[in-house]
Structure 1
């Protein structure tokens, strides 16, 4: 009888209380009907009184649900299939290994200029003063040293001692 007589009008009213949430309204109606069934012997059988009781219970259920939702953090669905990017820490290690293998292949004057400028973070002027040569000479040694490095690692033509 509860379902047949009260479901449609009660759902309309509860939908207003739940902000149009159909599923929540259905849950509230089911909970109110369950409470009415549990108290069936104590409830009045008059339609008006039973309707008033059902509306009061439904309103209180919505209020309790709102309070409970306000005290819990909002649940969110995690995106599936998207793995977070993990930085690969192997690049600096591999670069250091390659450099350790290739630097001895270079001419001494090229290696000295590259080590001072790129590995010890000296300016061209500082490297020139330390090597006792003009800055233009340091620039030239860096240029030709980098070219030799590319070739040793397997430059544009793809051959080099490390690629074999």
Structure 2
């Protein structure tokens, strides 16, 4: 009776639930060897789970499978271009000494010792310029609205 209500009086659905429950009982011989009351309780539990699974299924919710997934959003280069323009503008606002050290370290991949040797300055000076240059760059980017 509860199965009929749960399946909205769908006779074919109720028959499917009963058939699947009996099939699962047949596949589990230890259940059939139990006391009839335990077997009946197990069958009701299985039937209830089948009804709940059917109610939650995509078929019941009316979802229709499609051959191909819908188009997904494609990231374009707009954000990267805008970020590059903001960074270029913020780099231009740095002093020449700070900009040169930041560019050599982060865009050309130079080490502190390599940059110091190329510029003919002590490594401590390169570290200091790099620190203050990055700090000024971060502030410049924040002023331009870049918060990442």
After TM superposition, the score normalised by the length of structure 2 is 0.46
After TM superposition, the score normalised by the length of structure 1 is 0.42
> Which structure has the larger Rg over C-alpha atoms?
1
RCO comparison, higher one (Cα < 8 Å, 6+) = 2
